[in-house]
């Protein structure tokens, strides 16, 4: 995932059970049902397990703030569908819930037809696309997910926001486990900038511009200005394409505030094109050949996308604890107690 920030804020160590309890109580205290809270919390906890703390418990604070600042969401509904496609109106629900429903529909159609295309609009904060791709890959399918949202990222060569952070991700089943590549097309994630602003900490150099177009490390100025795009002109082109895919799902080109994010998922059953088991075996062999690449002198072994996430998650589960910034935990406790 592009971008990385560190924090000097005081931290607390929580067991995984305690972290899940804090999350769930705060979400339920903010109006989510126990079922909805479980769906959201599972996603946020997976971010914590994989070392992405800015997208874990800290994101719950942002979700609750957004929920309190707007009208109650409407039901998620399917606007149109065919045997191989569906278009969802998220009803302004948080994306963790909308994407979960989209995956259910997409997987059902892919099982029946061999391929599925599912789009969603009117949603926000969808989280890690790799989280959903694990479900797709676990079902034996190949998946691609792309998403758009509010303008917060400047195109290459510019300093005004035109793109969202516009993530795109691909997942492939292999005989030795998933290969999942999940990136945002901004040089730093919105969640990282939001957490830095919440904690009053600076951003790394070269990641953002203020409203006047000057480089800045002030997260508040960056949120009013623009983030830098990832990958130069190539990343900028990818960001534009991903934005258009989100618009294909029905989302606005430039939604106001944190709203109307677009989500487009394509799910393919390998058996629709050939022997699924053969593909899985060949994909595993290819992934292993990548890992076996001769590394740079003095460098570490070459990894395949998702190797690091899987290893970090396994280590966190073994350890049984996570480290969370104290202000985030305090805020979630206060929200739960106020219920």
Asked if 61 and 182 sit in the same domain, the reply is no
Interval 81-97: pLDDT, tens? 999 999 999 999 999 99
Spatial contact of 28 and 36, defined as CB atoms under 8 Å apart:
no
Let me know if residue 268 belongs to a domain.
Answer: yes
Does any domain span residue 281?
Answer: no
In a domain, 192, yes or no: no
The answer to whether residue 251 is domain-embedded is yes
Q: What is the pLDDT of residue 3?
A: 42
Q: What is the reported pLDDT for 219?
A: 97
What gap in Å lies between CA 57 and CA 339, rounded to an integer?
A: 18
Q: pLDDT truncated to tens, each residue of the chain (339 aa)? A: 444 445 678 999 999 999 999 999 999 999 999 999 999 999 999 999 999 999 999 999 999 999 999 999 999 999 999 999 999 999 999 999 999 999 999 999 999 999 999 999 999 999 999 999 999 999 999 999 999 999 999 999 999 999 999 999 999 999 999 999 999 999 999 999 999 999 999 999 999 999 999 999 999 999 999 999 999 999 999 999 999 999 999 999 999 989 999 999 999 999 999 999 999 999 999 999 999 999 999 999 999 999 999 999 999 999 999 999 999 999 999 999 886
What would the pLDDT profile of 59-69 be if each residue is shown by its tens digit?
A: 999 999 999 99
The reply to whether the predicted model has a pTM over 0.75 is: yes
Q: What is the dihedral of CA 316, 129, 118, 79, to 10 degrees?
A: 90
* Measured distance CA(206)–CA(262) in Å, rounded: 28
Total of domains in the chain: 2
What CATH number is given to the structural domain containing 49? Answer: 1.10.1530.10
* Same domain as 45, residue 114: no
The string of pLDDT tens digits covering residues 5-14 is: 456 789 999 9
**Closest alpha carbon to 267 in 121, 130, 118:** 118
* 125 and 157 fall within a common domain: yes
- What is the domain extent for residue 327? 11-69+311-337
Q: Which two tokens stand for residue 28?
A: 């339920």
107 part of a folded domain: yes
**33 and 164, same domain (yes or no):** no
Structure confidence by residue, pLDDT tens digits, 308-317: 999 999 999 9
DSSP 292: T
Does 99 lie in the same domain as 48? no
- In this structure, is residue 239 part of a structural domain? yes
Amino acid 1: pLDDT: 41
CATH assignment of the domain containing 111: 3.30.1370.60
The verdict on 54 and 115 lying in the same domain is: no
- Three-class DSSP category at 311: helix
Residue 26 has a pLDDT of: 97
Cα 229 to its chain centre, rounded Å, is 17
The predicted pLDDT at position 7 comes to 61
The answer to whether residue 129 sits within a structural domain is yes
Give the pLDDT confidence score for residue 266 in this predicted structure.
Answer: 98
What burial letters (b/e) apply to 225-239, b meaning 16+ CB within 10 Å?
bbbbbbbeeebbebb
Q: Do 144 and 107 share a structural domain?
A: yes
In this structure, what token pair is assigned to residue 269? Answer: 């059953």
Q: For residues 40 and 95, state if they share a domain.
A: no
Pair (25, 134) in one structural domain = no
- Residue 218 belongs to a domain: no
């Amino acid at each position: 995932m592009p971008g990385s920030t560190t924090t000097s804020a005081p931290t607390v160590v929580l067991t995984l059970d305690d972290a899940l309890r804090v999350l769930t109580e705060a979400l339920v205290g903010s109006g989510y049902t126990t079922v909805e809270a479980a769906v959201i919390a599972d996603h946020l906890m997976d971010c914590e397990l994989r070392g992405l703390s800015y997208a874990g418990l800290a994101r719950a604070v942002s979700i609750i703030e957004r929920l309190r600042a707007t009208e109650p969401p409407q039901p998620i509904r399917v606007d149109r569908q065919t045997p191989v496609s569906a278009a969802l109106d998220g009803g302004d629900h948080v994306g963790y819930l909308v994407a979960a429903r989209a995956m259910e529909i997409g997987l059902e159609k892919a099982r029946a037809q061999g391929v599925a295309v599912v789009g969603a609009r009117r949603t926000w904060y969808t989280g890690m696309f790799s989280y959903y791709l694990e479900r797709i890959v676990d079902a034996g399918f190949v998946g691609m997910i792309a998403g758009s949202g509010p303008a917060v990222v400047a195109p290459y060569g510019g300093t005004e926001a035109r793109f969202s952070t516009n993530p795109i991700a691909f997942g492939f089943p292999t005989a030795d486990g998933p290969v999942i590549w999940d990136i945002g097309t901004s040089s730093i994630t919105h969640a990282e900038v939001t957490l830095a602003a919440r904690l009053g900490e600076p951003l790394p150099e070269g990641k953002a511009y203020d409203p006047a177009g000057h480089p800045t490390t002030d997260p508040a100025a960056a949120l009013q200005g623009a983030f830098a795009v990832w990958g130069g002109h190539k990343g900028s082109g990818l960001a534009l394409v991903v934005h258009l895919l989100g618009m294909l799902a029905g989302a606005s080109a430039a939604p106001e505030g944190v709203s109307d994010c677009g989500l487009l998922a394509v799910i393919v059953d390998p058996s629709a094109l050939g022997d699924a088991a053969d593909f899985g075996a060949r994909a595993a062999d290819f992934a292993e050949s990548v890992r076996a690449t001769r590394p740079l002198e003095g460098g570490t072994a070459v990894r395949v996308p998702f190797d690091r996430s899987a290893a970090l998650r396994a280590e966190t589960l073994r350890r049984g604890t996570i480290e969370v910034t104290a202000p985030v935990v305090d805020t979630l406790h206060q929200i739960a107690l106020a219920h």
